[in-house]
């Protein structure tokens, strides 16, 4: 009989199994102990402590290459020219080395704050290869981007058009820009919703675009190179993208009739498997259905296919990462209908707020041993003072899960480190990379001293300063 508290789609198979597509490619157990990128996670824990985020460099770079190749192939023409730019969405996870990996794989970098811009520039990314996003870039951020010579700004509002134009004029530059359109298509996972109006903060509507495009074209310090849209995240199939591409192409054709508009940026949002129940369409199929939709719309409108840009973040880096924690307490909670085992670990919403923020689901496994024990329905909780501090809402773990076990959570490469906080004055975990079994630090673990050092009231205590 199914466990009454277990979600229907949760697979109650072998609680040691590492589902394909959920765990980083190549993750395996050797004598029961889990390896990622050739590194034994228990040895990594020994050397670096827990929790840690470990990113498999080969997986991240392989996925960057794969998505670029998929879109280049889908949009290829007989002329054999390169028709696609792939921007890595740095918001998913940006460290100097991650930026360098992406550049080495032929991707550009999308940043959306002065901090992300600084990381990319200091990592050696050419300013020309950077796109700068954001709905409320500060004047200082705009000036920094213009001064560095970023390739494009994505403009989000009429006020920002004037601000970027003024900053470019002061710097004596002509700044290339895109205009972000809220196209009326929202997509998440399996479904999309198409509306004509959107109640959200990003971009301008299709109706507002023509007047703003005229204004941009009047400003001598701006050069409009294209339109931009982004319809959501964790999208599993191509239908929402295709609908947004059709709408964007129609607007693109209208606005490109009077003056050149060479590019169309269709954003990111390509979904990944966090659990074995998630079945995203292969990226090659999504790329082809998007290319078919763009070509069909261009044919119908009698316009050439524009140069396409996309901005994937999660798809590239999410499945390349795992987070490992140490189990601290294990507690059965008896409920009407059954027992749920609460497994509390030494991290939580501070290093991964996604379950608390959006009810995100993850998969977990004991990493330092395999077990013959029967599966027990577990909930992995963090150590923070918040009942919503859940790491994995529901998972089948071996019933002998115990304090001291190393517990790995899959697919934490994206939006975990970048969304991490110091809630409960908890230092943030390090970001480690593994390559051919060798582990190195990309971002070091935060220390209690890092936290104390920012508290001006503590600096005044004699002897402690």
Ligand X SMILES: Cc1ncc(COP(=O)(O)O)c(C=O)c1O
The residue ranges that bind ligand X (CB under 6 A) are: 89, 91-92, 133, 230, 233, 267-270, 311-315, 414
User: C-beta of 147: minimal distance to ligand X in Å?
Assistant: 23
User: C-beta of 197: minimal distance to ligand X in Å?
Assistant: 19
User: C-beta of 320: minimal distance to ligand X in Å?
Assistant: 13
Q: Is 112 a catalytic residue?
A: no
**Which residue, 62 or 427, has its beta carbon nearer to ligand X?**
62
**Which residue, 109 or 378, has its beta carbon nearer to ligand X?**
109
Q: Residue by residue, what is the 3-state secondary structure of the chain?
A: CCCCCCCCCCCCCCCCCCCCCCCCCCCEEECCEEEECCEEHHHHHHHHCCCEEEEEHHHHHHHHHHHHHHHHHHCCCCCCCCCEEEEEECCCCCCHHHHHHHHHCCCEEEECCHHHHHHHHHCCCCHHHEEECCCCCCHHHHHHHHHHCCCEEEECCHHHHHHHHHHHHHHCCCEEEEEEEECCEEEEECEEEECCCCCCCCCEECCCHHHHHHHHHHCCCEEEEEEECCCCCCECCCHHHHHHHHHHHHHHHHHCCCCCCCEEECCCCECCCCCCCCCCCCHHHHHHHHHHHHHHHHHHHCCCCCEEEECCCHHHHHHHEEEEEEEEEEEEEEECCEEEEEEEECCCCCCCCHHHHHCCCCCEEECCCCCCCCEEEEEEECCCCCCCCEEEEEEEEECCCCCCCEEEEECCCCCCHHHCCCHHHCCCCCEEEEECCEEEEEECCCCHHHHHHCCHHHHCCCCCC
User: C-beta of 368: minimal distance to ligand X in Å?
Assistant: 31
User: C-beta of 347: minimal distance to ligand X in Å?
Assistant: 22
**Which residue, 317 or 408, has its beta carbon nearer to ligand X?**
317
> Which of 79, 385, 460, 465 is flagged as catalytic?
385
**Which residue, 15 or 134, has its beta carbon nearer to ligand X?**
134
Given a contact cutoff of 8 angstroms between Cβ atoms, the answer to whether 297 and 251 are in contact is no
**Which residue, 203 or 382, has its beta carbon nearer to ligand X?**
203
Question: Residues 6 or more apart from 134 whose CB is under 8 A from it?
Answer: 112, 113, 141, 154, 156
**Which residue, 129 or 367, has its beta carbon nearer to ligand X?**
129
* Own/partner pairs, 206-210, CB within 8 angstroms, 24+ separation: 206/181, 206/182, 206/247, 206/251, 209/179, 209/181, 209/251, 209/255, 210/254, 210/255
User: C-beta of 148: minimal distance to ligand X in Å?
Assistant: 20
Given a contact cutoff of 8 angstroms between Cβ atoms, the answer to whether 433 and 317 are in contact is no
User: C-beta of 192: minimal distance to ligand X in Å?
Assistant: 14
Find, among 248, 175, 258, the residue nearest to 213 by Cα.
258
Q: What is the C-alpha to C-alpha distance for residues 308 and 71, in angstroms, rounded to an integer?
A: 9
User: C-beta of 25: minimal distance to ligand X in Å?
Assistant: 19
**Which residue, 306 or 319, has its beta carbon nearer to ligand X?**
319
**Which residue, 91 or 365, has its beta carbon nearer to ligand X?**
91
User: C-beta of 386: minimal distance to ligand X in Å?
Assistant: 24
**Which residue, 180 or 252, has its beta carbon nearer to ligand X?**
180
Find, among 428, 436, 400, the residue nearest to 16 by Cα.
400
Q: Which residues carry out catalysis?
A: 385
């Amino acid at each position: 009989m199914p466990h009454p508290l277990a979600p229907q789609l949760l697979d109650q198979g072998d609680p040691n199994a590492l589902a394909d597509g959920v765990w980083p490619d190549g993750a395996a157990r050797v004598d029961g102990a889990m390896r990622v990128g050739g590194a034994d996670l228990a040895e990594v824990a020994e050397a670096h402590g827990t929790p840690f985020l470990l990113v498999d460099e080969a997986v991240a770079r392989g996925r960057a290459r794969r998505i670029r190749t998929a879109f280049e192939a889908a949009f290829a023409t007989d002329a054999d020219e390169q028709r696609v730019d792939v921007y890595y969405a740095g918001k998913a996870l940006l460290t100097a080395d991650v930026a360098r990996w992406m550049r080495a794989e032929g991707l550009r970098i999308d940043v959306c704050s002065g901090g992300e811009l600084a990381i990319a520039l200091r990592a050696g990314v050419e300013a020309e290869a950077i796109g700068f996003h954001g709905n409320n870039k500060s004047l200082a951020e705009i000036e920094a981007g213009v001064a560095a010579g970023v390739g494009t700004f994505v403009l989000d509002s009429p006020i920002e058009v004037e601000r970027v134009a003024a900053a470019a004029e002061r710097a004596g530059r002509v700044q290339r820009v895109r205009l972000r359109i809220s196209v009326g298509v929202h997509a998440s996972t399996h479904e999309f919703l198409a509306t004509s109006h959107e109640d959200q903060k990003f971009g301008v509507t299709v109706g507002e675009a023509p007047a703003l495009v005229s204004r941009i074209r009047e400003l001598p310090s701006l050069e409009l190179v294209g339109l931009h849209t982004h319809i959501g995240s964790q999208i599993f199939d191509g239908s929402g993208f295709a609908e947004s591409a059709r709408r964007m192409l129609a607007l693109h054709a209208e606005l490109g009739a009077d003056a050149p508009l060479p590019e169309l940026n269709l954003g990111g949002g390509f979904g990944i498997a966090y659990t074995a129940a998630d079945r995203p369409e292969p990226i090659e199929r999504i790329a082809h259905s998007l290319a078919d939709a763009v070509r069909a719309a261009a044919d119908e409108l009698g316009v050439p296919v524009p140069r396409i840009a996309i901005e994937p973040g999660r798809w590239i880096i999410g499945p390349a990462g795992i987070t490992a924690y140490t189990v601290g307490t294990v507690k059965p909670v008896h409920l009407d209908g059954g027992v749920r085992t609460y497994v509390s670990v030494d991290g939580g919403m501070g290093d991964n707020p996604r379950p608390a923020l959006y009810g995100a689901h993850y998969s977990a496994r004991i990493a330092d041993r395999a077990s013959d024990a029967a599966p027990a329905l577990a909930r992995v909780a963090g150590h923070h003072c918040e009942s919503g501090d859940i790491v994995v809402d529901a998972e089948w773990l071996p019933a002998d899960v115990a304090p001291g076990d190393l517990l790995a959570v899959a697919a934490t490469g994206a939006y975990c480190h970048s969304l991490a906080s110091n809630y409960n004055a908890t230092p943030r975990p390090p970001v480690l990379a593994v390559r051919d079994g060798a582990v190195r630090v990309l971002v070091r673990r935060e220390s209690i001293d890092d936290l104390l050092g920012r508290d001006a009231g503590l600096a005044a205590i004699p002897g402690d300063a």
